[in-house]
Amino acid sequence: MRTCLTAGVLVALVGLTGCGGSNAIDLPPAGSGNGGPPDAIAWGPRLAESGLSALAGADDEFGGSVAGALARAARAVPNGGSQSSLVDEDGRTADEVSVRVVRDVDLGGLAHEITDGARFIVQVPSPAPRQGFELAAFTGLIPGIEPDLSSYPHEVLGVWAWEDEGAAGAFWSRSPPVPPVDFGPEFTTGSAVYEGDAAGVLAAAGTATKFVADVRLEADFGDGTVGGAVSGFRSLTGGVLNDLSVTLGETGFAGDGAPFTGDTSAGGTAGSGKWGGRWSDGTGSAIGGTFGFAAVDSSLAVLGAFTACACTSGAPGK
């Protein structure tokens, strides 16, 4: 039996096997107590001077021949929380996938479950990794704490590839789900700067390497526009990958806080891509989303997700 607590993310994944086989049960209401093992999900230390830690895929290499799928995903229109090579006739990311926090009896604790309806299930931590499927997932949770994840606000973002299907994608999520956006008074006039972290995969010269990077956005609330850049690409262990900087082209956003999309570019490299985001809290102080860029000949492709906030102390967890 599987029943889950929705954690509110959109991810584009299809082609995986059905949901059968998990032994997850309902989570009790926050604070009700449930006995048994501690409700903790293991995650590692901070990655390469970032505010992110790895939930899964903490090694640098992203295996398989994924460059083509990454390039297609980089050019796809995001849908607010995910961006993938699986698109509809308009080039928009087609499927919506949920990330949920569940209690898994076999694991003896909690797990993040990534699922597309009844078509597949991937759990982090995974009791049985799927052949041909690769996932790198990251969180802004502070290492060493053990919050009640059924109610504690946290983000999960990452990238995935399904080599047999030639598909790849990136996703961002917030748990509990993103509340209705009612911009606070400080986010209705003037401008605000959002800073944070990005993570994903960069494919170039025949290799695919996971990265962390820095993101900086600026929103103009008078004009209703937002844009920025992702820079400082480095491997999970801190090695500089290249001097790539991906511009998140300025785009408009609606006053109701709906998801928004825009174009990307990279100085000195002919190519194209898309990015998208959504206000990730109820006041307009934080943004989460996805981005991609690919060279014309697909010799370089970058795909990832980001989280950023207008916090005086920098990105969450820093």
* Tokens, residue 172: 């961002």
Q: In terms of Cα–Cα distance, which of 105, 185, 157, 165 is closest to 278?
A: 157
Residue burial 248-272, b: 16+ Cβ < 10 Å; e: rest: bbbbebeeebebbbbbbbbeeeebb
Alpha-carbon torsion, ordered 64, 91, 217, 66, to 10 deg: 10
Question: Do 11 and 116 form a contact (C-beta atoms < 8 A)?
Answer: yes
The amino acid sitting at 317 is: G
In 167-313, beta strands by DSSP E: 167-175, 191-204, 207-220, 225-235, 246-252, 260-266, 269-279, 286-295, 300-309
Q: Across the chain, what does the average pLDDT equal? A: 80
Q: How many CA atoms lie within 13 A of 178 on its CB side?
A: 30
pLDDT at 119: 52
Check pLDDT > 50 for residue 17: no
Distances (CA, A) of 249 to 111, 131, 190, 272, 292: 36, 37, 19, 11, 12
pLDDT tier, 37 (very low <50, low <70, confident <90, very high otherwise): very low
Share above pLDDT 70 across residues of the chain, in percent, rounded to a whole number: 79
d(CA 282, CA 260): 16
Which stretch, 157-161, 236-240, 278-282, 305-309, has highest mean pLDDT? 305-309
Tell if the pTM clears 0.75, that is, is over it: yes
pLDDT at 242: 80
